[in-house]
Every structure is written in C-alpha cells, then in structure tokens.
Amino acid sequence: MLGPFQKRLKRFRPNPPQVLAFGFMIMIAVGSVLLSLPVSSANGVGLPYIDALFMATSATCVTGLSFFNIGGHFSTFGQLVLLLLVQIGGLGFMTVATLAALVFRRRISFRERLILQEAMNQSNTEGIVRLIRKVLLYALIIEAIGALVLAVRWMFEMPWGQALYFGLFHSISIFNNAGFDLFGMFPERASSLMHYVDDPIVNAVTMGLIVLGGIGFIVISDLLQYRQHKKLTLHSKVVLTVSGGLIVIGTLVIFLFELTNPQTLQPLSPIGKVFSSMFQSVTARSAGLSTLDTADLRQATQFFILLLMFIGAAPGSSGGGIKVTTFAILIGAMVAMVRGKEDIVLFRHRIAKDRIYKAITFTLLSFFLIVLAAMILSTTEEFPFLGILFEVTSAYGTAGMSMGLTAQLTTFGKIVIILMMFIGRLGPVTLAFTLTPKTEKELFRYPEGKITIG
C-alpha cells in the first residue's frame, strides 16, 4: 500500500517551467561537485563547496561572474567542466537532450515539445523540433568559425595548440554570452580582453559573436531565410531594431562620457576609442567581457551600463535581462499614452494585451528583485552602493560585468548572487509558475472601477 506522500509523489507531473528549473538545478549540482574536486584546480586543492557552487551557477546561467582567475586557478579539466556547463546552459539542457534523442532516433513526445516551447520562448509547439535542429546547427557553425578566426589571430603570439584551445574556449564562452576568459594565466597581462582594446580582429569577432548570441536563434533563422521569404517576422524586426539602436546609443553615450577620462578612453588612439566604446556597449547587454576596466569608468557611465544590463538581450537567446522585446513594448506603451492612442503598435502590428501585461509584470518583478537584493547586500557587504547595485544587476541580467564586489563577497553575499543568477537565467515569471500551483479559470469578473493616475 502506498502512503499519502507516495501517492502525491506518483501523481506529481511537473509542468514545463518546473522541468526547466529542476534541470538547471541538477546541472548546477553536478557541476559544483565536479568543480570542487582537487583535479579541477591547478594547485590540486579542491574548492570550498560554496565557491564551487558559485562558479557552477555562473557557468550554467552563462553569467561569467567569478572571483577566480579562470586561466590560472583551474586545471584543464576544471576549465573544460566550466566550458561544458556554459555550452549546455547557453543552448539549454532541453536542447541538448533533444539532440541526444534525435541521435538515438527516439520520438519527441508532446509533453517534451511543450517543455521545448517554454525553453525557447515560443508561442506554440509547431515546428519546435525543426527549430531545435537549426539551433544546434547554427550554434556549432558560428562557434566553429569564431574559434578558427580567433585561433589564427592568436597563433601569432602563442603555440598553435594553445591558440586552438584558446580559440575554442573563448568562441563558446563569448557566443553563449558567458564572458569567461583564460588570459589570467598570463601574469603580465590585464584581465579579460583589455590587452586587445584596439585590436580590430579580436574586437570584430568578439562583438560579432556577442551580437549573434544575444539576438537569439529565432532571429538568426529568420535572417538566413530572408532571401527565400523576402520578409522578417515582427519579432525579428523588433529585436534587430531595438538591439541596433541600443548599440548605437550606448556607443555614443560611453564615448562622450569617457572621452576625457585619463583612465579609459583618453590615452587610446582614435580607432581604440571607437572600438572600446562600441565594445562596452555590446558586452553590457549580457556578455561580461571587457576591454576597459569597469571600475575605472565614470559613475555616469557605470550607471548607464547598469541600465543596458537590465534591458539585456533577446528572448530565445543565452542572454538575460528583461529582454529587448519587453523594453520595446514598454516604450511603445509610453508613446501610445503620450499620443492618446489605445493600442501599442509596432511595425504596423497591434500588440496583444496579454503580451503587454507580461512585459509590465516581468519588468516590475525584475526591478523589485534587484532592489531587494541590493538592499540586503548593502547591509552585509562593505562596498559602495552603486557597486552593489551594479553587481546585482549584472548577476540578474547574466551580464557578468563587475566593479570588484564579487571578489570580496561574504558567504551570505555569494548565496544572494547565486540566487540572482539562477532567477535571472530562468526569468522571474517562469520561476513564479514553477513555485505556484496550477491556477483555475475564474468563473466571474468583478465590476470595473476607476482610480486617478498621475
């Protein structure tokens, strides 16, 4: 005879958001155990579990925050564990599981298609398996091209074997918007990509990988089929327009704010000034790499980058934030209100009410979570408040940029940042669906009421 708990457990069938949450938890748990092993460290001493958990979460949630020198602290085994977590976390574990099912010619059930629909932020399950095939193909091709170009560039300064490894590691890390780098193994160099602040090849390839990883596979697929269909979907138009606009505006703002800063742009050549301004604008949206020291930026620039991290990348990508489509709907709502219009119209398409409610809910939940976490950390961490707010936003937006707080976090602070990275990767709405029971349809509606606004 089964007990009451066993009966409930047997009847329990997790919904798609719960499957995604549990899947990420399992990946993080396995990764943390592997990273805590002595074999993962270059010095043969295992990491404390909380540090291993932090690094596994940062990799799986493709954030890139780290208090370790990745190239110097981790062994090749540890680096490969991080890289595998980044790849699976960026593509989505359900995408990788679908690949395994396709390889073994196993049929994808309707329930699994629903989970894939949730993972890819699709409105229905039609063509979802075909999309997954494209996602895997595009990712492998883009990462391979990026790895080859970077490897050829770095062969001029390191052995070809090391250059190939560096090219592969950084291509996967950059395309998945993780932001881990190995250049810390060279003591004479600055961290991240600061050594290549005015290198045209490294800058162009890195920014290209970040943008392709940030616009999402749905948009990439749409662009590749443009010659055949001669049109783009509304989603692609919004993502490309808003992403392009944010890159241009971000480049101009950072250039103007930092032009006379002797610690950032002032000493650079004209081409270096342009490259570094554009690079910070691109990377702020979710990538985490940098060619300038974020701590040396002016406070106005740091706060502006914080706003870019909050907006984030596109749905269906490996990036975080509230997403550019959400930002577009909010701007559209403001414009419609100012013009006295009832509908939000983007590219001659009226936005459905449920999309508007979801955008507002997502933005407010994200804002409240970031503010709450920043307030909590301001009482436990000895650091300026802007730096704390910056770090929390970076964790939630899976951006991976840091003003130096990560290296000084207390154990409690690490737990808070871990939670922010996890929630940011899943999204607060998905997490809410995971934690709340299935809602029943309301059988009645309350009478309409009016309150004064403004």
422/426 Cα distance (integer angstroms):
6
Per-residue DSSP letters for 65-119? --SS-HHHHB-HHHHHHHHHHHHHHHH-HHHHHHHHHHHTTPPPPHHHHHHHHHH
- Over residues 257-275, the pLDDT tens digits come to 999 999 999 999 899 899 9
Instruction: Name every residue whose Cβ is closer than 8 Å to that of residue 121 and which is 6 or more positions away in sequence.
Output: 315, 316
Looking at per-residue confidence, does 428 or 265 come out higher?
265
> pLDDT at position 168, please?
95
> pLDDT at position 288, please?
81
H or E segment to which residue 4 belongs: helix 4-11
Q: Which pTM value belongs to this model?
A: 0.88
Amino acid at 177: N
**Phi, psi (5° rounding) for residue 346?**
-125, 120
Its domain, for residue 219, covers 13-109+128-427
Q: Does 358 fall in a domain?
A: yes
- Over residues 73-85, the pLDDT tens digits come to 899 999 999 999 9
Where residue 207 falls among pLDDT bands split at 50, 70, 90? very high
Residue-averaged pLDDT of the chain: 84
383/412 Cα distance (integer angstroms):
14
Q: Does 433 fall in a domain?
A: no
Q: Does 449 fall in a domain?
A: no
Q: How many of the other CB atoms lie within 10 Å of CB of 155?
A: 16
Residue 32 pLDDT exceeds 70? yes
- Over residues 91-145, the pLDDT tens digits come to 765 565 555 555 545 565 555 565 555 555 555 555 666 767 777 888 889 999 9
Where residue 341 falls among pLDDT bands split at 50, 70, 90? confident
> pLDDT at position 342, please?
85
Where residue 233 falls among pLDDT bands split at 50, 70, 90? confident
> pLDDT at position 5, please?
47
Q: Does 1 fall in a domain?
A: no
Where residue 9 falls among pLDDT bands split at 50, 70, 90? very low
User: CB-hemisphere CA count at 13 Å for 223?
Assistant: 12
- Over residues 367-405, the pLDDT tens digits come to 999 999 999 999 999 999 999 999 999 999 988 898 989
Q: Does 319 fall in a domain?
A: yes
Q: Does 450 fall in a domain?
A: no
Where residue 1 falls among pLDDT bands split at 50, 70, 90? very low
> pLDDT at position 198, please?
86
Instruction: Name every residue whose Cβ is closer than 8 Å to that of residue 125 and which is 6 or more positions away in sequence.
Output: 110, 113, 114, 116, 117
For the chain, helix (H) and strand (E) counts, in that order, are 20, 2
Q: What Cα–Cα distance (Å) separates residue 257 from each residue in 249, 297, 298?
A: 12, 9, 7
Q: Does 2 fall in a domain?
A: no
Tokens standing for residue 176? 């998945």
Q: Does 186 fall in a domain?
A: yes
Number of domains in the chain: 1
